[in-house]
Structure 1
Amino acid sequence: MLEPEIRPRPARLDDLPRLTEIYNHYVLTTAITFDVEPVTVEGRRGWFDEHAPKGRHRLLVADYDGVVLGYASSSQFRAKPAYETSVELSVYLAPEHTGYGAGSLLYRQLLDELDGADVHRVYAGVCLPNEASVRLHRSLGFQSVGVYREVGRKFGRYWDVQWFERGVGTP
């Protein structure tokens, strides 16, 4: 009997409760996201609807035998039209499923899909310290472009964010 494997796939609306659960873990326990209040499934619906199976803004999940382990997204980088070929990437994994390669798998798939979607550059912000995320981005060819010092305040302290970029279609 074959073991199931983690496979990336486009997110479905019925995944939204699980995606919200995963995200809220990070809202409540880490500075990885600068949201400070948990979000609701209804409140995340607009975010979900901004992502499509085709185009620049995508949402993939890591599926392991019907269980969603996490997700990765490409979203609008900035609202002005000249930025449209640049996107911001994010990846969130359920805390019990980190360290098994699902984040790398999702990012690789997302980058492959964006290669044909009129995307020129991808960006990612990493709240510091977060050595695992820094390693992930560097392993996929992202280059650091700087650190915004004390840019966000959460849990009574200020946090730095390191920004990474990479071209699409580059190894």
Structure 2
Amino acid sequence: MNPLYDSVVVRPGRVADAESIRTIRNDAIEHTTAIWTTVKQTPEDAAAWWAELIERRAAFVAEAGGEVLGYASWTQWRPKEGYRFTVENSVYVLPGHQGEGIGGRLMRTLIAAARESGAHVMLADIEAGNTASIALHKRLGFETAGTLREIGTKFGRRLDLTIMRLALAP
């Protein structure tokens, strides 16, 4: 384990984190298939999106030495009322700090917060080739619910979506 791990603090997101979060998201947008868009977040869009997550107590950051290293958040999976107890998670860590256990710490905090909120199920929609994210979610108790073939595109490739599920309440 990286010595930095012990100095990492996971805390609720703050409005002041928005620009750091935007940097992490935009890196994922530009360089990975984790987020299925090529349109980067503007400072205004990031601030509004992040503030809404904070208001719902659905956003957490991992920080060490004043630097935001990653974040995790949850949103309602679908907008219709029937899905109100089903949430979807997002977890992203700066590229230089992936594989250091930060994502797991963020997710454990996020899962606990979603349970406290009354959510019944947490889903993860993961690009099927993202083996690190799939492995992380499996370690946290998620099971594979299924894979939808060729439903997305990015970087000129067709992408498969693996949906993983964690029961939060009996």
- TM above 0.5, one fold? yes
Q: CA contact under 8 A between 2:119 and 2:169: conserved in structure 1?
A: no
TM norm structure 1: 0.92
1:1-171 matches, within 5 Å, as: 5-52=7-54, 58-169=58-169
Counterparts of 1:44 and 1:53, CA distance in 2: 14
Aligned residue for 1:99, secondary structure, equals coil
Deviations 1:65-95 (A, max 9, x none): 2110000001121010111111000101110
Q: CA RMSD in A?
A: 1.5
Instruction: Give me the whole-angstrom Cα distance separating, in 1, the residues matched to 2:47 and 2:19.
Output: 10
Q: How many angstroms does 1:117 deviate by?
A: 1.0
* SS of match in other structure, 2:53: coil
- 2 CA distance for matches of 1:88 and 1:116? 15
Comparing 44-53 with 67-76, which one deviates more in the overlay? 44-53
TM-score, normalized by length of structure 2?
Answer: 0.92
**Which range moved further: 41-50 or 127-136?**
41-50
Deviation at 1:46, TM superposition (A): 2.5
Q: Counting helix residues as a fraction of each chain, which structure ranks higher?
A: 2
Matched to 1:100, the amino acid is E
Q: Match for 1:7: what amino acid?
A: V
Q: 1:116 to 1:59 in 2, by over 3 A?
A: same
The sequence identity of aligned pairs, in percent, is 34
Structure 1: segments with no counterpart, 5+ residues: none
Letter matched to residue 94 of structure 1:
L
Q: What SS does the corresponding residue of 1:51 show, helix, strand or coil?
A: helix
Structure 1 residue 112: deviation in Å?
Answer: 1.3
Task: Tell me how far 1:32 sits from its aligned partner.
Answer: 0.8
Task: Give yes or no for contact 1:119–1:168 (8 Å, CA) kept in 2.
Answer: yes
Please list every run of 5 or more consecutive structure 2 residues that lacks an aligned counterpart in the other structure: none
